[in-house]
Structure 1
Amino acid sequence: MLRSRWSILTVIVVAQTGSISLLYGVPFLIPLMREAEGITLTQAGTLAAAPLLGVLAMLIIWGALADRFGERLIMTVGTLGTGVCGVGAALIDGPAALGLALVAAGGFGSSINVTSGRAILAAFDVTQRGLAMGIRQSAQPLGLSLAAAILPPLGLAWGYREALLVPAGICLVMGLVVAVVVPSHPREERSHVRAPSPYRDQRLWRVHLASALLVWPQFVGAVFALTYLVTEQRWDPVTAGALLAVVQLLGAGGRIGAGIWSDRVDSRMRPMRIIAAAGTVSMVVWALGDVFAAPLALFGLVAVTIIAACPNGLSFTATAELAGPAWAGRAMGVQNTGQNSMALAVAPAFAAIVTAIGWPLALIAAAVFPLVAVGLTPVRGERPDAVALPR
């Protein structure tokens, strides 16, 4: 059983890494996209955020379907669908058609978020759940690291669209693997006792709100770090991508470390609040460095990118534990909807703010979001419930 659950986790992480590299890898192609299409930074940022429209449209639906039909079917359909849409994005012409294909890819890819979290809730008990969810959440920085490492050089060699064929291919292969390895826990296999809505407790709402606010530093780093290094610090895209690939790997390690930390202190929210405070400080350091010293700006950029990646696993674990098995899929769908709603706003809004007032003030404005999250994070009275789906 031990080997089985870790094998399930491994497949989930690889599948989600491939999906993330496609859905959130477009920002690493922004300089090439702007050159090829002749579009502004705001337009490119909007196009890079297109997958989030599909994610938002389908998250809660996929969560309800996962609660009803189990993880295997929904994750398989979603992973294969993401790959097919990624191939379409690479082959069709025109920015508008590319945007539509990316929206569709996001719609399919969102299924992996809710079903993979639900599968981990089933496989791991409360003493290891923080670690397991941290490993699962490391798929996002791992996917971004993969995208940062391969998409800029592939885009230079093949074209920015054709570079998307690689992550799309990973999704197609992993869709087949998921169908074989990942188990399923549909509603019929569980108790028929009707669980009350977990949303009667304000703690779950506060987790959703705080984690949505923490998307700002995370997506400012993920979407604009390469553009900042290329346009403001005069780095070439391949070198900047290589650096950010390493930084995203460190962010993956940070998510795992945060999960272990939460298991050790028997709290998801205390570590999350400390990380939110650190994210605020690192954003301010980036802003000050842009004014006074390029090395300080680089330090702040790296710190933001690593630190902002850390709390996602904590918020997802807390959401699953507070919701309980009967509501886990839907609650994680709501959690993801809040985060991706904020993420959808970050790319065009931050690009517009930078254009209007410059990088330093825009970064200071972005630092307000994690600061507010510090106060919202529901540390007092936190009582994670040791819930799990049947194994």
Structure 2
Amino acid sequence: MTASGYPPARWRHLGVGLTGLVAACAAQNGLPFLTVSLRAEGLTLPQAGLLVSAPTAGLVCTLLLWGALADRYGERLVLTAGLAIAAGALTGAALADGVVATGLWLLLAGGGSASVHAASGRLVLGWFPPEQRGLAMGIRQAGQPLGVGLAGLLLPRLAGDGPGGPLALLAAGCAAAAVLVGLLLRDPARPPRTAGAVRPASPYRSPVLWRVHAASTLLVVPQFAVAGLAFDWLVREGGWSVAGAGTLLAASQAGGVAARLGAGAWSDRVGSRLGPLRQVAAAVAVVVGLLALVAVLTPAVLGPGAAAAAVALAAVATVSPNGVAFTSVAERAGSAWAGRALGAHNTAQNLAAALTVPLAALLADGAPGYPAAFALGAVAAGAAVAVVPGRAAEVPAPPLAAVR
């Protein structure tokens, strides 16, 4: 089936799903921009790292559940409910008095917003033909750098009186996205099931999907080592102001968007998800390794300009593999398993993210310092190169939804 069999409405659904992902990712991944504010209130860097990772820990607890619900009840209901829960929890976090209460509310916010990761990928699978899925998933996955970029522009500027104002803004974003999803989104058609037909076999009988999960999980380490510490490093050791560092990281997310779109379009053109994934992983290892080297020398030797260039390049490179990996997972899992497979994929990724930020913060706050934290990410990316399955494991993806 070619793209002519899929109506133009697929782009509207992609846009609505992207909006939900932007709002969710701003809440899940934008909290590192509040580390300076949190530390000004007396928290250590490891304590702030635990708060920053709380939404990610919430994601880990609920992704598989949201994926199963999306497979059974559809994307619209799951997205609306999850974003509404996130909006309420972020409001609670904004009003909370005390670190423990704030952390618990952030945990719940992550649990609710996890619905976006489990369900919005199914929209791409159902609404788009195979020859457009890499690009479409790249657009969908651009929600992460876009959300982080918006957070970088807005949150540091609102955090002068503490984190309450920024958290309220994040709550409003999730609430607005829930309303848009409820009004504009429709579930894609699913392949008809014949009475008495055998249920689709589990895609986990093959090691390929397990290896894609593992490689993507390893690639989360450099992504979150950079995302979690770059802002603090630029301000404390790189010679940048709070507003300047936030603006730099926000601007670098535009490059992250382009990188995800480019990787997705590249995978469509070459007819492979795994080959581009392996090559991008190698590039991430090199770029993050360079950032670790710059962190050893800056600012005494190289100065703030080199710090900015290294961080921007790493911020772009580390987000680029996600769309291709998600497309590979969705296509291999098929319509019957896509929600659960994407939920499992995100669970592994976010478990790694929840562990990476506090661990990297401990390294950065101790004797090893920021260079060791960034080097950890480079080593993990190098390991991912070896874990990505060979191209021989790849099979052409058939269309997975009926003509609309």
Alignment of 1:29-44 (within 5 A): 29-36=34-41, 38-44=42-48
Question: Relative to 1, partners in 2 of residues 1:19 and 1:249: Cα closer, same or farther, differing over 3 Å?
Answer: same
Q: Which residue of 2 aligns with 1:141?
A: 145
Match of 2:381 among 361, 370, 383: 370
Question: Relative to 1, partners in 2 of residues 1:111 and 1:17: Cα closer, same or farther, differing over 3 Å?
Answer: same
Distance across 1 between alignment mates of 2:166 and 2:324: 33
Deviation at 1:326, TM superposition (A): 0.7
Count of aligned positions: 389
Q: Which runs of 5+ in 1 are unaligned?
A: none
Match of 1:75 among 68, 76, 79: 79
Distance across 2 between alignment mates of 1:183 and 1:238: 40
Structure 1 runs of 4+ aligned residues shifted over 6 Å read none
- Say whether 1:55 aligns with 2:59: yes
Output one character per residue of 1:331-383: Cα deviation in whole Å (capped at 9) or x when no partner.
00110011001001101101112223122233223211000000111133111
Q: Which residue of 2 aligns with 1:209?
A: 214
Alignment of 1:239-254 (within 5 A): 239-254=244-259
Distance across 1 between alignment mates of 2:295 and 2:59: 33
Output one character per residue of 1:136-176: Cα deviation in whole Å (capped at 9) or x when no partner.
000000000000000000112x4322211112112111211
- Say whether 1:350 aligns with 2:360: yes
Q: Which residue of 2 aligns with 1:65?
A: 69
Distance across 2 between alignment mates of 1:159 and 1:190: 54
Q: Which residue of 2 aligns with 1:124?
A: 128
Q: Report the aligned-residue RMSD.
A: 1.6
- Say whether 1:173 aligns with 2:185: no
- Say whether 1:237 aligns with 2:215: no
Equivalent residue letter for 2:331: E
Distance across 1 between alignment mates of 2:261 and 2:191: 33
Deviation at 1:185, TM superposition (A): 5.1
Distance across 2 between alignment mates of 1:384 and 1:346: 34
Deviation at 1:283, TM superposition (A): 1.3
Asked if the contact 2:156–2:242 (Cα under 8 Å) also holds between the matched residues in 1, the reply is yes
Output one character per residue of 1:95-149: Cα deviation in whole Å (capped at 9) or x when no partner.
1111000000011100111100011100001000000000000000000000000
- Say whether 1:323 aligns with 2:336: no
Output one character per residue of 1:191-249: Cα deviation in whole Å (capped at 9) or x when no partner.
55400110111110000000000001111121111101011113111110001000012
Q: Which residue of 2 aligns with 1:154?
A: 158
Distance across 1 between alignment mates of 2:142 and 2:39: 30
Deviation at 1:52, TM superposition (A): 1.3
Question: Relative to 1, partners in 2 of residues 1:215 and 1:116: Cα closer, same or farther, differing over 3 Å?
Answer: same
- Say whether 1:95 aligns with 2:99: yes
Q: Name the % identity.
A: 43
SS at structure 2 position matched to 1:2: coil
Match of 2:229 among 221, 224, 233: 224
TM-score by length of 1: 0.96
Q: Which runs of 5+ in 2 are unaligned?
A: 1-5
Q: Which residue of 1 aligns with 2:3?
A: none
Asked if the contact 1:68–1:187 (Cα under 8 Å) also holds between the matched residues in 2, the reply is no
